[in-house]
Amino acid sequence: MYDVIVVGGGPAGLMASVAAAEHGARVLLVDKGDKLGRKLAISGGGRCNVTNRMPIPELIRHIPGNGKFLYSAFSVFNNEDIIRFFENLGIRLKEEDFGRMFPVTDSAKTVVRALVQKVKDLGVEIRVNAPVANVLYEEGRTTGVVPASGEKIRARNVIVAVGGKSVPQTGSTGDGYPWAEAAGHTITDLYPTEVPLTSNEPFIQARTLQGLSLRDVAVSVRDPKGKILITHRWDMIFTHFGLSGPAVLRASQFVVKALKKFKTDAIDVLIDALPDENEETVFQMLMKRIQQQPKKAVKNVWKGIVPERYLVFLLERMGIHPDATFHDLPKNKVRDLAHALKAFAVKVNGTLPIEKAFITGGGVSLKEIDPKTMASKLMPGLYFCGEILDIHGYTGGYNITAAFATGYTAGRAAAMR
Ligand SMILES: Cc1cc2nc3c(=O)[nH]c(=O)nc-3n(C[C@H](O)[C@H](O)[C@H](O)COP(=O)(O)OP(=O)(O)OC[C@H]3O[C@@H](n4cnc5c(N)ncnc54)[C@H](O)[C@@H]3O)c2cc1C
């Protein structure tokens, strides 16, 4: 008989195990994979973006999927606690752009190894290659888990930390949702977030711009009524199926929601390649350059404004020959180009599937979870933490922070119970 069984050894489950053991509980951690922390090991481009050093209100703003629910958990264990936790384990961290924190080794393995060692040092019993088939509920309370192998394992508290449905090869295959439903919980609609966008535009299908990156652009999602739903300024890339890169990933959940809300097949994503200028100043700048060098080809006169491949692409789209000069160029074409540089519209028709998304949107409804303890309000002894909850943030350490914070909160509360 254990005090606490933690199901799932991702960041949420590992931190829940640490907190439960530190608070005196006899803990069993089970994972179906052969290794713990598999998704953590590939996060942040394999460097593990352990947390983000932004002030709490900013942090919450970067968790558009119910970030406010985390205020209580952050009062128990927040980003600064995560930084202290790893530094106490001897993992030196460094801050990069946008507050992102990484190990100085630039290797996620360092983080996973130290975290797993800490769990072991605290005396947590670990079983890998041990998939859980069910959580046991008897006489209105949680009594343990049923592994796929059959024999019941008893505990007064079970913490479900099995993650979402994204990147299933890391072990997150959505196993926890039916267990939550069996306890009476609601699962909100699941959808891919932080996911590349797909497009049927002929230039995408023809792979005209495949592999082209645009740095520091503003990417907006426009609904069918013409309203801008969100703008994110960062880098993006054209791929063989559509659009990707950090600005696009951040915008993706708004595309998913708008396609559903407006029951439409495609929606516009606008690319502003010159976000510090307005359309008029871009037009004036284009005009000034060709007036100053009237005999030179426009592709040379306007070189450097944006990457050459993108410039030539837009020139062709606007019906401007790249070798045209000032004298062959109607002014309205320059206006069209200025507009395209500021708001080139790409029709996107969806996203890659949830399995290819970085994060799963939706999950166990937060209305049925106590934010101070992550306990189920419906089934005594049952706790949820990490990505299985209806919480999702942008990439940049926000999801991992949410997983550590909810994991620690659940582990502590379960041990205290
Ligand atoms: C490529 C990639 C990059 C990412 N980069 C970032 C980033 O830069 N910043 C950021 O904030 N987030 C990032 N994320 C997201 C982040 O990694 C996840 O949100 C986080 O790992 C979720 O933690 P978790 O503990 O809830 O679940 P997971 O990490 O998914 O762990 C769940 C664990 O449960 C186990 N499990 C599942 N079912 C069972 C079962 N039936 N029985 C036993 N065990 C089970 C799995 O084997 C797994 O070990 C990235 C994700 C991906 C895929």
Residue 98 predicted with pLDDT over 90 = no
Side-chain-side CA neighbours of 378 within 13 Å: the count stands at 16
Q: What is the pLDDT of residue 150?
A: 82
- Measured N-to-C along each axis, helices 398-416 and 79-88 cross at an angle, to the nearest 10 degrees, of 80
pLDDT 10s digits, 348-377: 999 999 999 999 999 999 999 999 999 999
Confidence of residue 378 (pLDDT cuts 50, 70, 90): very high
In words, the CATH class of domain 2-192+360-416 is alpha beta
What are the beta bridge partners of residue 45?
A: none
Question: What residues line ligand 1, using a CB cutoff of 6 Å?
Answer: 7-13, 30-33, 38-40, 42-44, 49, 131-132, 161-163, 166-167, 170-173, 175, 358-359, 386-387, 395-400, 403
For 174-187, what is the mean pLDDT? 98
Task: Calculate how far, in angstroms, residue 7's C-alpha sits from the geometric centre of ligand 1.
Answer: 12
Query: Among 34, 49, 51, 162, which residue has the most ligand 1 atoms within 8 Å of its CB, making it the best to mutate?
Result: 162
**CA of 143 relative to ligand 1 center, distance in Å:** 25
Q: Which residue has the tokens 């990707």?
A: 244
Mean pLDDT, the chain, integer: 97
Can you tell me the mean pLDDT for 5-19? Answer: 98
Alpha carbon of 305 to ligand 1 centroid (Å): 40
| pLDDT reading at 224 higher than 90 | yes
**Closest Cα to atom 47, ligand 1: which residue?**
171
Q: In what order do the strands lie in the sheet with 100-103?
A: 51-52, 100-103, 93-95
Give the pLDDT band of residue 328 (cuts 50, 70, 90): confident
Distances (CA, A) of 184 to 61, 133, 368, 411: 30, 17, 9, 22
Residues 300-324: tens digit of each pLDDT: 999 999 999 999 999 999 999 999 9
For residue range 236-275, what is the model confidence (pLDDT) as tens digits? 999 999 999 999 999 999 999 999 999 999 999 999 999 9
Helix axes 331-343, 279-292, angle to 10 degrees: 130
Is pLDDT above 90 for 12? yes
Domain boundaries of the chain, sorted by first residue: 2-192+360-416, 196-351
Digit-coded pLDDT (tens) for 15-34: 999 999 999 999 999 999 99
Residue 215 alpha carbon to ligand 1 centre in Å: 29
